Amino acid sequence: MPNAAHPAAIDGYQLSPESVAAIAHGKLTAQVPADVLDKVRDARARFEQVAATNVPIYGVSTGFGELVHNWVDIEHGRALQENLLRSHCAGVGPLFSRDEVRAMMVARANALSRGYSAVRPVVIEQLLKYLAAGITPAVPQVGSLGASGDLAPLSHVAITLIGEGKVLTADGGTAPTADVLQAHGIAPITLAYKEGLALINGTSAMTGVSCLLLETLRAQVRQAEAIAALALEGLSASADAFMANGHDIAKPHPGQISSAANLRALLAGSTRLAGHDTLSAEMKQRAGDEKNTGTGVFIQKAYTLRCIPQVLGAVRDTLDHCATVVARELNSSNDNPLFFDDDALFHGGNFHGQQVAFAMDFLAIAATQLGVMAERRLNRLLSPHLNNRLPAFLAAANEGLSCGFAGAQYPATALVAENRTICSPASIQSVPSNGDNQDVVSMGLISARNARRILDNNQYILALELLAACQAAELAGAVEHLSPAGRAMFAFVRGHVPFLDADRYMTDEIERVAALLRDGALVEVVRQVGVELA
């Protein structure tokens, strides 16, 4: 794993979603400061003094959930914690990706580092030891209700700390944890009372995954703006809808202002775009002396060409709101019970993930609308009724005999419908469980998984719009008239996918461009010609 000069501090208070993503990707290392470990150690020592008085404490001297009425002697503390983990390692379905699980581990370590969970430092250190060594638990995606926390996925993480369960292998498979620990020379830890519960009774799975989704959408909205700008040039649209005063003064939503500024930068230097003055003069010239007549000149363009800052700006504002919620949850104590500096025990419900669930549903809605805008511009590029006299479906020759992009439009249309289905909010789908102890749950991890699916789908929609925009520019003979950013994007795409001069097998090309977008390549392409996107 790559190392950073300055590791991210896991202190429970200042960790950012961006840092979680960087650690998850192996671009940044994680470290718990010594003073934080001292605070955690002190909290544990004080907690043990309270527990020794034989006062009933949930999950320490009681059973779990609806079994809370059962008294459990503290001498069985280890067995109680291990049984909890084993019984809750019941997740099913495909496994989370390596980066997603690493993000969960970072989020859990950060929550425990606040000290209020009353675990020993060795628990946090073991999580960081795994991160540093590249040991990643195998975690099934299905099983969390989002309250009491992400019990199933976090159990699959936690059980590896004691040498049980499975971890991911380099080839994408799994192996017994004990074998991998032995190969790395790492000893499993032995859990003490409270620690198994503290590891799983929180929101760190949904929060960790959410950190990665924030990063993905932030890159995706920039790419959506860049591709939209190229589509505008392919259609010979107008840039006047993006003038600064119309956004900075008239409707100053921060995201809208940023989006409009990005479009101005992306379109600067283009000779393909007609301004309002030019269109007005052409309308008057065509009308002549007639008082009421059609001119065929549209001084305003359709919404998908004119309202990009209003829609994608709203996506940006939604993203910022969701990032605030996730950052707050990331730096919280989200398990139960908690133990405070005045030795007070708090038996509450901080494990409930409703805030993150709402945020990820909101993110899913915003991402869905981003895809809708891209698909509607794709339709405009392909339709002979809307594409400014370009060939139907951008077929290079022999319309009718050749279909051009007609077949390639279908997956984009299907994905928009799929996204709209997926973005139905999971956060209102509470189903009681655990003997009705967990009678209102958040389903926050389902919200995050839904948002992830939508973002994945959008990469294909954007890839198709990008390919069509390049085809349109070439068919219009406009490549030399594009903005510097437009020419750079066009050259980049043509370096990977040639002009569609005749009907051919397109799946591999669409996959190739979607993969490039997934890696954030387009933002780097425009950066190289001096366009820094907000």
Q: Are residues 224 and 462 in contact, defined by beta-carbon separation less than 8 angstroms?
A: yes
- Position 35 scores a pLDDT of 97
CA 461 to CA 305: how far, in whole Å? 17
Query: What single string gives the DSSP state of each residue in 243-264?
Result: -THHHHTTS--HHHHHHHHHHH
Residue ranges of domains in the chain, CATH in brackets: 8-201 (1.10.275.10), 217-272+307-333+351-430+440-529 (1.20.200.10)
Residues 6+ apart with CB under 8 A from 285: none
**Type and span of the H or E element at 8:** strand 8-9
The predicted model gives 206-219 an average pLDDT of: 98
Say if residue 492's pLDDT is above 50. Answer: yes
Helix, strand, coil percentages (3-state) for the chain, rounded to 5, are: 55, 5, 40
Q: Which residues are catalytic?
A: 58
437 carries a ligand binding annotation:
no
3-class DSSP assignment, residue 339: strand
Query: Is residue 201 part of an annotated ligand binding site?
Result: yes
Distance between start and end Cα atoms, the chain: 29
pLDDT of residue 281: 77
Strands of 293-360, DSSP E: 338-339, 345-346
Q: Which residue has the higher pLDDT, 264 or 148?
A: 264
Q: How far is CA 75 from the centre of its chain?
A: 43
Predicted TM-score (pTM) of the model is 0.95
Total Cβ atoms within 10 A of residue 90: 13
Q: Helices in 162-201 by DSSP H: which ranges?
A: 177-184, 195-200
Mean pLDDT of 17-27: 97
Please check if 88 is assigned to a binding site.
yes
pLDDT in tens, 275-302: 777 777 777 888 888 888 887 777 778 8
Q: How many CA atoms lie within 13 A of 1 on its CB side?
A: 24
* Strand partners of residue 95: 140
- Three-state SS for 46-66 is HHHHHHCCCCCCCCCCECCHH
Q: What is the pLDDT of residue 2?
A: 42
Which is more confidently placed, 281 or 11?
A: 11
